[in-house]
Structure 1
């Protein structure tokens, strides 16, 4: 949990957002002291591992649901005491995919009072974009943003001078799912690593074709047409940035607009693949509880960079959670094709 030291000096209503993902459950509570400014008071990440034991046939495992419910019970009690003026929540990834995902959320609602909707793939992509654009330095060209979660990855393409994406998609491809499918052993077996890469490449192939056609890339192409700026968010991407910075304590605002080179990401994948879990735990910046799935997530990032021919990646800590918060504050849901506005919010941590 990260608590802003300014919290004690602020008064007035607060706003909250709750993101129930495949690997983590995240909570953000903030105040709006002036238009366009958000002061986060509480920022929490709980390792829930809802994707652990997931299968197409049985959905979420009983153990994963019990752990997730226990976390949400504690979160719900504390949010009830805070009484936020708005609370916007959403479940994604394996909860959306699981046949028993709604049953899990119904149990949570009965036990905690938290009524958490399952976000559609488009809603998740739009809300993630909204959060990312809220902290991204003003881009000069098209932006291809992705939100890499535990079980799904959402993409959105935004053209210059617009505030709504011209294309979004979601792939059932995430750090936890890829790990369970191919990379459960550490160090990783070279054959399994190659199988994982081929699997990710097949999933990314349609994304590569769409992005190239929509941005004028390929042969022939207009040399004046800039390549899209690649921007990533969510646990794997922000953890990689924290590792690059060797952060002993995770500080969100230090992550925003940091750049990771494709060369560094490739080297990091090779380094992680050769390590056992104990060795990975010793890496500065690697979040505790993510050591088993970080290789799968880093491999996906590596393949996204390669598929798009990008030399670097811009990282934002802000994403779906911040998009949920902004959507709650604005008081409107996200209709199809809308929901990403041009307003840049300043997140003041210190």
Structure 2
């Protein structure tokens, strides 16, 4: 069966097309469009008309792609920005006109999808999966049951909240790091069994992996499974903090559209590594898109048989 999954995120909209045969998954296409749906949501809890339009246009292009690729079924879900927006119905109505239903998932379900995707893609057991997104960051790991926790710290959200200078100032860096620490310390203190083997998903970490390898053209094969040390993440962070926005846009491996929020995203990753006293992470290209695919087209389908 050929199916696709659309992830409507705070910073980007992503589309995965796969052939599913039993429990086997064959990737056909994986695409991303940065639409900034979550612009200003953290300030006024509303999606802007422009952001809704950009996102609807991106999804229309994905639906056209799915039709051309003869996709048989589509599952779409929305995350942090749509969860938080008082006018989420405005987006849902626009997407209904396009003929697509959207599942607005909570943070725990988002964590679940991320964990499942990483498990399938890396074959790793006993890992902490971190999903660093535009509006939120999810923790998930197995401890008898699956522990799932979502926090309102994301690359776009923290950029809007703290960053006013270009380049970002040391005070802004410290304020972001302290904010993350205050948010996460109670959870980390109460959960001493958190695994030290960390797999990270999301646009921030795949971008850092591409930057670390100085990739002029993005490669899923080179990014998936790449190991980033804490010192390398700090090197990239120091480099980006020394550059203006326009200068960051010229760095290999960094999408120009992501250059304004990548610093805050990197601070999230680096601060979490310090809080967990970990020296490296593994990057996964298998993420919540694949996890949703498994949940909807493998687990649920098999459960019905």
Q: TM-score, normalised by structure 2?
A: 0.93
Question: What residue number does 1:218 align with?
Answer: none
Q: Give distance in 2, aligned partners of 1:147 and 1:241.
A: 15
- 1:35-58 CA-to-partner distances (Å, cap 9, x unmatched) read 543221111110110111224534
Q: Give distance in 1, aligned partners of 2:284 and 2:42.
A: 31
2:266 matches 1:272? no
Question: What residue number does 2:133 align with?
Answer: 149
Q: Give distance in 1, aligned partners of 2:34 and 2:164.
A: 18
**Preserved CA contact (<8 Å) 1:127 1:324:** yes
2:125 matches 1:124? no
Question: What residue number does 1:70 align with?
Answer: 57
2:280 matches 1:312? yes
- Residue 28 of structure 1: how far off its partner (Å): 0.8
Q: In the TM superposition, what are the counterparts of 1:1-350 in structure 2 within 5 Å?
A: 13-32=1-20, 35-110=22-97, 112-139=98-125, 142-159=126-143, 165=146, 167-212=147-192, 214-215=193-194, 228-330=196-298, 332=300
Structure whose alpha-carbon radius of gyration is higher: 1
Partner of 1:134: helix, strand, or coil?
Answer: helix
**Preserved CA contact (<8 Å) 2:18 2:26:** yes
- Residue 177 of structure 1: how far off its partner (Å): 0.6
Partner of 1:117: helix, strand, or coil?
Answer: strand
**Preserved CA contact (<8 Å) 2:45 2:84:** no
- Residue 307 of structure 1: how far off its partner (Å): 0.6
Higher helix share: 2
Unaligned segments of structure 2, at least 5 residues:
none
Q: Give distance in 2, aligned partners of 1:87 and 1:305.
A: 36
Partner of 1:51: helix, strand, or coil?
Answer: coil
Q: Give distance in 2, aligned partners of 1:201 and 1:266.
A: 17
Moved over 6 A (4+): none
**Preserved CA contact (<8 Å) 1:76 1:113:** no
Q: Give distance in 1, aligned partners of 2:295 and 2:219.
A: 23
Q: Give distance in 2, aligned partners of 1:249 and 1:48.
A: 21
**Preserved CA contact (<8 Å) 2:250 2:256:** no
- Residue 82 of structure 1: how far off its partner (Å): 3.5
**Preserved CA contact (<8 Å) 2:209 2:228:** yes
Partner of 1:135: helix, strand, or coil?
Answer: helix
Q: Give distance in 1, aligned partners of 2:140 and 2:299.
A: 23
Q: Give distance in 2, aligned partners of 1:184 and 1:247.
A: 29
- Residue 318 of structure 1: how far off its partner (Å): 1.1
Q: Give distance in 2, aligned partners of 1:148 and 1:293.
A: 12
Partner of 2:183: helix, strand, or coil?
Answer: helix
RMSD of aligned Cα (Å): 1.9
Partner of 1:267: helix, strand, or coil?
Answer: helix
Q: TM-score, normalised by structure 1?
A: 0.81
Q: Give distance in 2, aligned partners of 1:180 and 1:56.
A: 8
- Residue 184 of structure 1: how far off its partner (Å): 4.1
- Residue 327 of structure 1: how far off its partner (Å): 2.2
Unaligned segments of structure 1, at least 5 residues:
1-12, 216-226, 336-350
Of structures 1 and 2, the one with the larger relative CO (CA 8 A, separation 6+) is 1
- Residue 126 of structure 1: how far off its partner (Å): 0.5
